[in-house]
Structures are given as structure tokens and as C-alpha cells.
A = this chain, B = another copy of it.
Amino acid sequence: MDDVDPVRAANGAFYRAHEERDLDAMAEVWHRSERAVCVHPGWPVLRGWDQIAESWRRIFAGPGRNQFLLTGESFDVGADRAWVTVEENLVDGDRMVAVSALNVFALVPDRWAMVAHHASPIVPMLDR
């Protein structure tokens, strides 16, 4: 149960749901419980799936960061929890925004569910 591939797939599904602005797919990624925690860059801490879902609704309704270039992915997979670090390089119109993220997943019976996402800017804005 220390196989990285299922965690890599779960982490990939998170970024795919974000890129595609797909709230249903995003809901599939998360552990939809009070235990989930999410910190978007510059946002207050969100606790529980209800707050987190609302944040994605607002993000998906807003103007767009539509494409990620993920770099520096690292995985550490335990028996029933796993964590991932990754640099999210967001293509936002004609700008690149570099964000560092720490994602935590919990093994629920049939899948690795995201329980925490903490993202913060590395460089606030970098014009290309």
C-alpha cells in the first residue's frame, strides 16, 4: 500500500478538475467532510467541504487561471495518508504565477481522497 501511482493519479485529478473548472470532478477528488482543510493563496483558511466547495464555485465562476505547469512533484505515501509537494505554475492570461502547494490525501476504502490543500505564492507575480 505504499504505491505512489494511485496518489499521483489523485493529485493529477485535482489539477485536471481545476483546469477544467469542473466542480463535480473536484468533489470526487476531495474527502467531503468536516475534516478537509483548504488554503488558497491569499485566502483565509477554509475548513470542511461546504466552505471548500463554495470556494471552488467562486474560483470557477471568476476570471481565469486555466492552465497549470506542474514542476517539482514529490510524493511520500504511507499506509493510509500521503502527502505531495508541487510547484503550480499558473498561466494566467499573459502572466505566470508560481505557487507552492502541499497536498495531503487519506486512503478511504476505495480511493485516495484529498484532505488538505495548502497553496501559497512563491513569487507574487512574474511577468513573462
Q: Is there contact, CB below 8 Å, between B76 and A39?
A: no
Q: Is there contact, CB below 8 Å, between A83 and B122?
A: no
Binary contact readout A99-128 vs B (1 if CB under 8 angstroms, 0 otherwise): 010101011000000011010101000000
Q: A85 near B: Cβ within 8 Å? A: yes
Main SS at interface, chain A: strand
Binary contact readout A3-30 vs B (1 if CB under 8 angstroms, 0 otherwise): 0000000000000000000000000000
Q: Is there contact, CB below 8 Å, between A83 and B44?
A: no
Q: Is there contact, CB below 8 Å, between B45 and A87?
A: yes
Q: Is there contact, CB below 8 Å, between B37 and A85?
A: yes
Q: Is there contact, CB below 8 Å, between B102 and A104?
A: yes
Q: Is there contact, CB below 8 Å, between A78 and B102?
A: no
Residues of chain B contacted by A74 (CB below 8 angstroms) = 35, 37, 47
Q: A residues within 8 Å of B by Cβ?
A: 35, 37, 39, 41, 44-45, 47, 72, 74, 76, 78-83, 85, 87, 100, 102, 104, 106-107, 115-116, 118, 120, 122
9 contacts between A and B (CB under 8 A): A35-B76, A37-B85, A39-B100, A39-B102, A45-B72, A45-B122, A76-B115, A79-B81, A102-B104
